Homo-oligomer: A and B are copies of this chain.
């Protein structure tokens, strides 16, 4: 029997699969009311452990448009959860007979991964804390596909709070995978974080360059723009000084709201948030740039933009329905043009020792200890780096053990390179290692 496919992370899905979904979404979009017999007798369950009406309604509309049924648990905290039920049990119950697919929203990072580990039916991540929201990313990409006919090679401005916006980080990774270029126009103090830039470089070969933003006009007046391109410098040298990119033509401006709920007190003081309005969109380079926003917006896009033909943010959210129709029917096995292949290779290893090195206190591996079985992925071997298999947060550690020899070492030790990935154990100090019965080697004592 084929393993169940889930959509936990945008990484779970190949470019080919995304493209097939876009084609299906085109078809649904052309006749949104014409598929009412597409999924008869099938049921999705919206399990929302925090409210997100917009996301929920978008999924539920998609399922109703496909002729399926919808179960709604919009406020999961008020119920069984308060009787202490674990997420792992809940998805086994709901996926065991109530529903054919689970749409999960949860405040803990990694929750959707844990749910997918236990659910007998597909799980779609509708947001897990500040971690991932892959259908939002697919919706954003789908909009570029519709508006521009392609994604590779586009120049996309990401503007506003690039520090805390989960949406913008996921979008950036996805743009990089598709080979689009990114122009960062951050709110000062809210630049794209280093760990995002590092992942863009390490996994997608993206090089950051200082950008000459004068052709962006008022939009970039307050900030230094950065250009991120998947092209190698030598490829670029045909066009430009390899360390300095001049932005000439923008295909899309993706604006994000200030994520004030995650701000420090100092950050909350900040005023004069970037604002897109007729005035700031006057530069020649922005002449036919579509303006996107994941919504809800507050004041970062002025109402005077609403009638501007470049503003597609309401269309953008409307397209969330056909793309979710495609995602749901694909995972339910009803999409001939996108057969349900085996999922992309799972890079996670289960920890062989009952020890959880994840530093993220709101990671599901920390909040639901009964059923989470700590796991990790190796990012690099020299020097060794690893991240949590649930929340993707990178580990910090001072010693590395081998679950087979029960020895532990300094990370830079030669012995560490010999350890099979699945046998790696990460310790923050000697006490921790010894408590788990590991023995220090020379490299530790040195």
Contacts and interface: CB of A to CB of B under 8 A. Distances in A.
Given A57-B45, A296-B85, A314 B92 contact: yes
A387 interface: no
A61 B43 contact: yes
A61 B93 contact: no
Given A51-B78, A296-B85, A297-B85, A98 B41 contact: no
A404 interface: no
Contact of A41 (B36, B45, B69, B298): B36
Interface stretch (A235-243, A317-325, A359-367): A317-325
A44 to B, nearest CB: 10
A226 B100 CA distance: 42
B43 A65 contact: yes
A156 B83 CA distance: 26
Contacts of A433: none
A75 B320 CA distance: 22
The number of times this chain is found in the oligomer is 3
A317 B97 contact: yes
A350 interface: no
Interface of A: 32-36, 40-43, 45, 51-54, 57-58, 60-61, 64-65, 67, 69-76, 78-80, 83-85, 89-90, 92-94, 96-100, 257, 295-299, 303, 314-315, 317-322, 370-371
Contacts of A100: 33
Contact of A40 (B36, B57, B76, B79): B36
Contacts of A34: 41
A78 B78 CA distance: 14
B319 A97 contact: yes
A90 B54 CA distance: 9
Contacts of A89: 295-297
B61 A296 contact: no
Contacts of A53: 73, 76, 78-80
A163 to B, nearest CB: 18
Nearest to A99: B61
B36 A97 contact: no
